[in-house]
Amino acid sequence: MTSGPEFRIGIDVGGTNTDAVVIDSDGGVLSAVKVATTPEPIDGIRESLDKVLHDVDKGLVGKAMLGTTHPTNAIIQRQDLDTVGVLRLAAPSSLGVRPGAAWPDDIRDMVIGASAIVEGGNEYTGADIAPLDEDAVRKFAVQASSQGCQAIAVSAAFSPATSEHELRALEIIHQELGDGYPVSLSHQVGSLGLLERENATILNAALLSVASRVIRGFEDALAGHNLAVDAYLTQNDGTLLTAVEAGRFPVLTLGSGPTNSMRGACALAGVNDAIVIDVGGTSADAGILVDGFPRESTAAVEVGGVRTNFRMPDLLSIGLGGGTVVRDARAGNGTDLAIGPDSVGYAVATEAVCVGGGTLTLSDISLAAGRLHGFGDPDHVADIDAQLLSDALAWVDEQVSIMSDRMKSSRSELPLLAVGGGAHLIAEQVPGVSEVLRPESYAVANAYGAGIAEASGTVDRVYSYDVSSREHCLDDARDLAANAAVRAGADPAQIRITAITEVPMTYVPGGGCRVLVKAVGPLA
């Protein structure tokens, strides 16, 4: 590594475009590109790297960050998922609900292979529900392997509070199948709530091969430019996973794209509290920043029809983008207009009317209205009917206003940060917001957010305030979160606690309280 300034590469793979930036040590954008996302996303990553590094001193690049839709697409499209053996340590409780019982049939049949519920697990206090049935674990490991399972997902009752049974099961599985056999443990993936945490762990195990291919492709693309740099993937809380950790926990990258945009918008605009709307070619995602980080959803999250409980940003997504198809469905003097939700996606560069194509899109509407500049030929859209233009713009403005209102948690007005390649669709004034800001490099805010992301660590545990004092419990949780952040690559000297949440468990004896702590720090 050189002794000069260290540059970072940020890449974000979206449904329409793959964006890339090179960021200097002061946070400035040295180079930025947008290329059409390719059917095989790794090809788009390679192309974006080729272009963004064209005039950059590669010797000064020290880190590269990737935000990708690969895992999300694999679940939604039911493609390339591994077969998973599911082992639940909770008997004799929870026998009434089998693993994957509420999953859609197609993904359950594809993913879940052998499954078993054996004795084990803990109460929230740490007391055993039943001693771990080690013989049953051994038997299951052999069964799962013989039935062609490519990985095993292990979940135990209250394992985020007491993980001994899951860790012992891991030891036994590796004794039977070898240390290299892939195993996902639920206490490392999700929070309290056995079934939702189990679901997230199964999805994580099913994505291990997908993650391996993505990381290998990313590292190969970097090696193609002789870049021997630290590689990271972004996760959905706005922070980073090392490539190694992302290979172990790919489920944590789901939903990272909108989060990257929000973090990038925050940094580019110098604003910590704001509504953010990221408009791409296919969809628009709205979220809200609190102290520079996306507000997390308090609701259970469904991914591809599977209910989970791992952390996700509080987002609202609709089919509104630059490639959204506009159909004039008016008859006679009627004013019916059909907009979306279908989109031409990355083909907007060839299919939109303004570039000589035959599909009327919202980019054409925006260009005709004077909101879009630098794309297409205004002469191609000069004859768009005035009423159609007015109605389409009114629809867009109404959707933006609805999204803004739904994300707000109080009557106070916040600024709205408009980012993404389709941000031109957002008007200069939106009801209910103090101002509309389009920060410099807003079109690649997602890649910028990936490039400036920090490392983090979280803890989600149940403490008994009757056994130890509240202060002692909170200090322990802070230390655990800080240590997790260091393991993720954060500089120990610059770690800060960004969130502490206490949830008293008044429905159980013993002064139980669920404590959630998040620690964040810049990369070491």
Contact between 120 and 133 under an 8 Å Cβ cutoff? The reply is: yes
pTM of the shown model: 0.81
Mean pLDDT of 266-272: 90
Helix, strand or coil, per DSSP, at residue 158: coil
State residue 346's pLDDT score: 77
Please give the Cα distance from 346 to 326 (Å, whole number).
16
pLDDT at 2 over 70: no
The confidence score (pLDDT) of residue 212 equals 92
Neighbours of 324 (CB within 10 A): 30
| pLDDT at residue 330 in the model | 54
Smallest CA-to-CA distance from 212 within 170, 183, 244 is with 244
**What pLDDT does residue 334 have?**
47
Lowest mean pLDDT among 220-229, 234-243, 335-344, 465-474: 335-344
Tokens found for residue 439: 């920060």
The reported pLDDT for the residue numbered 331 is 46
Tokens of 88: 């639940």
Res 508: pLDDT: 66
How far, in Å, CA of 31 to CA of 20, rounded? Answer: 8
User: How large a percentage of the chain has pLDDT more than 70?
Assistant: 96
- Please report the pLDDT score of residue 4 as a whole number: 54
CA 37 to chain centre: 18
DSSP count for the chain of H helices, then E strands: 14, 23
More confident residue, 458 or 352: 352
**Cα–Cα nearest to 115, from 271, 94, 68:** 94
In the predicted model, what is the mean pLDDT of residues 67-92? 88
d(CA 150, CA 404): 44
Give me the amino acid identity at 370. Answer: G
Cα(86)–Cα(143) distance, integer angstroms: 11
Evaluate whether 155 touches 169 at the Cβ level (below 8 Å).
Answer: no
Whether the per-residue pLDDT at 507 is higher than 50: the answer is yes
Q: Residue 1: its pLDDT value, please? A: 37
Half-sphere exposure of 205 (CA within 13 A, CB side): 27
pLDDT score, position 475: 95
More confident residue, 491 or 409: 491
What H or E segment, with its residue span, contains residue 293? Answer: strand 293-294
Measured CA to CA, the distance from residue 372 to residue 393 in angstroms comes to 12
Report pLDDT for 521: 92
Decide if pLDDT at 21 tops 90: yes
How many other CB atoms are there within 10 angstroms of residue 340's CB atom? 20
| Cα–Cα dist 30/49, whole Å | 13
pLDDT score recorded for residue 460: 82
Cα torsion angle, 303, 308, 312, 316, sign: positive
Contact in structure between 318 and 333 (CB atoms under 8 Å): no
What CA–CA distance (Å, rounded) separates 282 from 145?
41
- Count other Cβ atoms within 10 Å, centred on residue 178: 9
- Helix H or strand E encompassing 266: helix 256-269
Question: What confidence tens digit (pLDDT) does each residue in 135-168 have?
Answer: 999 999 999 999 999 999 999 988 887 889 999 9
Which of 42 and 481 is assigned the larger pLDDT? 481
Q: What is the mean pLDDT of the chain?
A: 88
The label of the residue with tokens 């192309």 reads 47
Q: Is 433 helix (H, G, I), strand (E, B) or coil?
A: coil
Angle at 44 between CA 43 and CA 46, to 5 degrees: 65
φ, ψ for residue 20, nearest 5 deg: -145, 145
Query: Of the given ranges (15-29, 321-335, 349-363), which has the lowest mean pLDDT?
Result: 321-335
- Measured distance CA(220)–CA(228) in Å, rounded: 10
Q: 353 in the Ramachandran plot: left (φ > 0), alpha (ψ -120 to 50) or beta?
A: alpha
The pLDDT value recorded for residue 335 is: 54
Cβ-Cβ contacts under 8 Å for 312 (sequence gap 6 or more): 236, 254, 255, 296, 297, 301
Contact 223, 234 (CB under 8 A): no
Which option is the CATH number for 82-206: 1.20.81, 2.60.120, 3.20.19, 3.40.50? 3.40.50
Q: Does residue 390 surpass a pLDDT of 80?
A: yes
Tell me what the mean pLDDT of segment 423-430 comes to: 94
Residues of the chain above pLDDT 90, percent: 51
- Comparing CA positions, the residue from 496, 505, 495, 508 lying closest to residue 473 is 505
* Sign, Cα dihedral of 29, 34, 35, 41: positive
> pLDDT at residue 409 above 80?
no
For residue 309, the model assigns a pLDDT of 73
The residue that leads in pLDDT, 100 or 312, is 100
- Give 377's contacts (C-beta < 8 A, 6+ positions apart): 354, 355, 356
Q: Are 420 and 441 in contact (CB under 8 A)?
A: no
By CB neighbour count within 10 A (0-12 exposed, 13-18 middle, 19+ buried), where does 36 fall? middle
Q: Which helix (H) or strand (E) holds 481?
A: helix 470-487
- Residue 20's alpha-carbon distances to 12, 16, 209, 384, in angstroms, are 7, 13, 25, 34
